[in-house]
Every structure is written in C-alpha cells, then in structure tokens.
C-alpha cells in the first residue's frame, strides 16, 4: 500500500512541477490593452519586460549550456524569425526552416514586450521621469534581445563573419556600456 501511495505522490509531484514550469508565462501577457494604456500601469509594463527578459535569458543560457555547439551551430535557428514574422535578426521568414525553437520564441517575446512598452509611451502624455524610465527599459531590452540572438544563436544571414558563437562578448559588452553612458 505504501508503495502505491509513494509512487502516486512522486508522479503527481513531478508532473505538477513540470506543468507549472512549462505554463508559467510573464505577467504582462495576462493584461488587456485597455488595462495597460494608462500612466498608472507603466510600472506594470516595465515589470513585464523585465520578467520576459529574465525568462528568456534563463531559457537561452540553459539551452546553450546543455546543448552548446548543437544549439549554437543549428542551422534551423540561425537566421530564423519569430512565428509572427518579426525580423529580429534580419533573417528570412520561412516557417519550414525550423523557426519555432522555444528559446528563440522567448527572446522574441522580450523584443515584443519592449516594443509594446515603447509604443505605449509614444502615445501617452505622462510625467517625464516615468516616461524616461519606461523608454530606458524599452530601448535597453530591445537591444538586449538582439544581443542574446547574436551571442547565442550564431551567425544569421546579416551577421558579420566574426559574429555569433565566436563573438567577443566582453568587448561588445564594454562597447554597449560606453554607448549607454554616453546617451545617459
């Protein structure tokens, strides 16, 4: 009897945890457009972008660590686009080329959330400090989504020959920080 109960408990525990992790989306995807179109909810959108990036970064680094060369050199991922046809890496949209890699989709969601935040801010007349914080987050995370694509997914059709997995991340990161300090 104990064997059956323990086995059932273990099965339910692992299945429940797996389903919870797989189905955990960012909070911004649960809000309607009207709910996030007011200035009171800009912080909600900013947090949604941060949550999306956290999820994407964790997803991509986990896959890159586990699969390393198999993922970075996967031709189905290089040069792919989002399922909506958004050209984040200037690739060519062809749904038959394996454009549905889950880590790629999480990176595309970061870009989509940051772009949505930017477009909302463009249409609002709100406090300057709140707008500055929102624009900072929107532009930063749009750029970071491109950075994730370039460093983890290898060379797309428009990447330089030293891009992708061979990219010198530390030099690029310092260059980005210098640019960021210049614009702040």
pLDDT of residue 178: 75
Residue 16, in any domain of the structure: no
pLDDT of residue 166: 43
pLDDT of residue 15: 56
Residue 165, in any domain of the structure: yes
Residue 9, in any domain of the structure: no
What's the predicted TM-score (pTM) here? Answer: 0.54
Residue 17, in any domain of the structure: no
pLDDT of residue 73: 46
pLDDT of residue 131: 87
b/e burial code for range 6-43 (CB count within 10 A of at least 16 → b):
eeeeeeeeeeeeeeeeeeeebebeeeeeeebeeeebbe
User: What angle separates helix 169-183 from helix 128-152, to the nearest 10 degrees?
Assistant: 160
> For residue 77, what are the domain limits?
32-183
pLDDT of residue 98: 41
Residue 150, in any domain of the structure: yes
Residue 118, in any domain of the structure: yes
Of residues 58 and 2, which shows the higher confidence score? 58
pLDDT in tens, 123-181: 888 888 888 888 999 999 888 887 777 666 554 444 445 544 444 555 666 776 777 77
Residue 23, in any domain of the structure: no
pLDDT of residue 65: 58
Total domain count, the chain = 1
pLDDT in tens, 102-120: 777 788 888 888 888 888 8
Residue 151, in any domain of the structure: yes
Residue 31: pLDDT band (50, 70, 90) is low
pLDDT in tens, 39-81: 777 888 888 888 888 888 887 777 665 554 444 444 444 444 4
């Amino acid at each position: 009897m104990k064997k059956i109960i323990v086995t059932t408990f273990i099965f339910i525990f692992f299945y429940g945890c797996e389903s919870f992790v797989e189905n955990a989306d960012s909070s911004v995807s649960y809000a309607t457009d009207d709910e996030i179109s007011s200035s009171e909810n800009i912080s909600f959108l900013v947090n949604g972008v941060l949550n999306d990036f956290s999820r994407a970064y964790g997803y991509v680094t986990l896959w890159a660590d586990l699969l390393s060369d198999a993922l970075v050199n996967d031709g189905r991922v290089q040069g792919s686009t989002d399922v909506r046809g958004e050209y984040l890496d200037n690739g060519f949209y062809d749904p038959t080329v394996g454009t549905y890699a889950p880590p790629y989709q999480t990176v595309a969601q970061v870009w989509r959330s940051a772009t949505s935040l930017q477009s909302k801010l463009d249409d609002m007349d709100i406090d300057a400090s709140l707008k500055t914080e929102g624009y900072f987050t929107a532009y930063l995370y749009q750029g970071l989504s491109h950075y994730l694509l370039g460093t983890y997914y290898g060379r797309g059709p428009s990447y330089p020959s030293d891009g992708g997995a061979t990219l010198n991340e530390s030099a690029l990161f310092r260059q980005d920080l210098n640019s960021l300090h210049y614009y702040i």
